[in-house]
Amino acid sequence: MHALYDRLKALFPVGEFTEQRSNLAFVTLPGAYLRPALLHLRDREGFTHLVLLTAVDWIEQGQFQLTYLLSNRAENRDIGLRVMLPRLGTVMASIHDLWPTAATYQRELREMFGIDFPDSPGVYEEFILEGWNDIPPYRRDFDTLQYAQDSYAQRPGRETRDPESHMKQQLYPGKG
């Protein structure tokens, strides 16, 4: 993978390189170079399959991380391109014309994280949630427990136990 990284470095201002396994690595690069880099990897390096497009919410850094994972079937190796975006008013260029499946991922990211992909087909249609009226639920500033308690009727009497201490108490009563 290091040879591939050197070839990428010659073409794009790529940043940090993480080699997870001998056939899986991640590269960070600026959003403006994502499209040429994807095209290069797809057409020149044989990474023809978009495995997934996903996001991570780095709320402490005020950033979203988009990960475009590509696979090269012939050589059995994967590369992930990471793009860091500001968390406020996140807009990213759509890549649905490179891989049509990306449109579905982008639709999901817009709904679950609020990352906007203008021009992506159907990106403003509801994907999984229906009638959602709060901030996107996968954002880390969304308080899931609070929302669940506010929105849904709860049955009283539910209690939560720590499994380890509870099983100790059950199996060996009287022993510290």
Partner 1 sequence: MKRDPMHFIKPELMPRKVKGPDGVEFEVEPLRDYFCDAPPTVQHGAYLKIVEDFFNWARAQSLWILGFGTGCGAIEMRPLMTPRFDAYRYGIQWRPTARQANLLVISGYLSTKTLKRAIRAYEQMQNPKYVVGLGSCTINGGMYWDSYNTIKCLDQYLPVDLYITGCMPRPEALLQGFEDLKKLIRAGQAEGANRYAENFTWYKANQKQVIHDWDMPDYNW
10 is a site residue for partner 1 (CB under 8 A): no
DSSP 24-93: EEEEE--GGGHHHHHHHHHHTS---EEEEEEEEEETTTTEEEEEEEEEETTTTEEEEEEEEEESTT-B--
Q: Residue 47 is encoded by which pair of tokens?
A: 């990474």
C-alpha to C-alpha distances, 62 to 5, 32, 35, 43, 165, nearest whole angstrom: 28, 19, 23, 34, 38
**Contact flags string 150-169 toward partner 1, x per CB under 8 A:** -xxxxx-xx-----------
Q: Distance between CA 35 and CA 52 in Å, rounded?
A: 16
Q: Which stretch binds partner 1 (CB under 8 A): 60-68, 91-99, 101-109, 142-150?
A: 142-150
142 is a site residue for partner 1 (CB under 8 A): yes
Q: Which stretch binds partner 1 (CB under 8 A): 46-54, 65-73, 96-104, 131-139?
A: 131-139
* Residue 54 CB, nearest approach to partner 1 (Å): 19
- β-pair type (24-28, 17-21): antiparallel
Among 44, 59, 91, 147, binds partner 1 (CB under 8 A): 147
Nearer to partner 1, 3 or 145 (CB): 145
Among 32, 93, 129, 167, binds partner 1 (CB under 8 A): 129
Nearer to partner 1, 42 or 139 (CB): 139
* Residue 135 CB, nearest approach to partner 1 (Å): 11
141 is a site residue for partner 1 (CB under 8 A): no
Among 3, 74, 145, 171, binds partner 1 (CB under 8 A): 145
Q: CB–CB of 141/62 below 8 Å? A: no
135 is a site residue for partner 1 (CB under 8 A): no
C-alpha to C-alpha distances, 163 to 133, 145, 155, 158, 169, nearest whole angstrom: 35, 20, 22, 15, 10
Q: Distance between CA 92 and CA 31 in Å, rounded?
A: 8
List interacting residues with partner 1 (CB under 8 A). Answer: 128-134, 137, 142, 144-145, 147-148, 151-155, 157-158
